[in-house]
């Protein structure tokens, strides 16, 4: 609880002074505060595992999820004149999870410049069924859990001498 409270205090303190409070710097600052408070925590497996988990979420999982969402929501704009250069299967998955066809159609009706985009039909179907967000959340959670498990694998083997496939 102390680790979480210190991390949240640092993030919210950064927002209070109009700084971006999330990210690896907040994880590092909270680690330094915790280690100043109790230096022996450096050798504590619970400290190492929780710090690694938070760092992987902040530094790997969130940026990856944001990038995947940007691939799926790509529209023509001055900032992004070309579609993302990714494997077609990845583009299809991202579009299925994140493309909002109804919003795009509303935007095209109001825009003086009109164009069409060939996007995943599954995205339109999932959006109409109102399950697209739920599926995107489940996929994001599974992606985060998988990345965290891979990152923690060396520590889990070192401390517990086993690999948990169920975790």
Higher per-residue pLDDT: 29 or 135:
135
- Say which DSSP state 60 is in: I
For residue 167, pLDDT over 70 is answered with no
Cβ atoms of 121 and 96 within 8 Å: the answer is no
How much is the pLDDT for 36? 94
Q: For residue 24, what pLDDT is reported?
A: 85
| Average pLDDT in the chain | 90
- Of 3, 21, 4, give the one whose Cα is nearest residue 12: 21
How many helices (DSSP H) and strands (DSSP E) are in the chain?
A: 8, 0
Report the predicted TM-score, pTM, of the whole model to 2 decimal places: 0.84
């Amino acid at each position: 609880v102390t680790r979480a409270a210190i991390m949240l205090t640092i993030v919210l303190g950064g927002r209070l002074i109009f700084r971006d409070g999330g990210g690896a710097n907040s994880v590092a600052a909270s680690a330094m505060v915790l280690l100043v408070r109790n230096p022996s925590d450096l050798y504590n497996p619970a400290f190492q595992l929780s710090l690694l988990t938070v760092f992987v979420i902040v530094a790997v999982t969130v940026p990856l999820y944001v990038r995947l969402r940007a691939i799926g929501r790509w529209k023509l704009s001055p900032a992004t004149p070309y579609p993302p250069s990714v494997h077609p299967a990845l583009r299809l998955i991202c579009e299925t999870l994140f493309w909002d066809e109804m919003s795009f159609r509303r935007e095209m009706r109001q825009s003086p410049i009109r164009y069409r985009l060939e996007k995943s039909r599954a995205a339109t179907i999932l959006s109409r069924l109102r399950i697209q967000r739920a599926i995107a959340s489940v996929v994001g959670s599974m992606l985060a859990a998988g990345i965290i498990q891979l990152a923690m694998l060396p520590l889990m083997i070192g401390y517990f001498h086993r690999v948990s496939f169920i975790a």
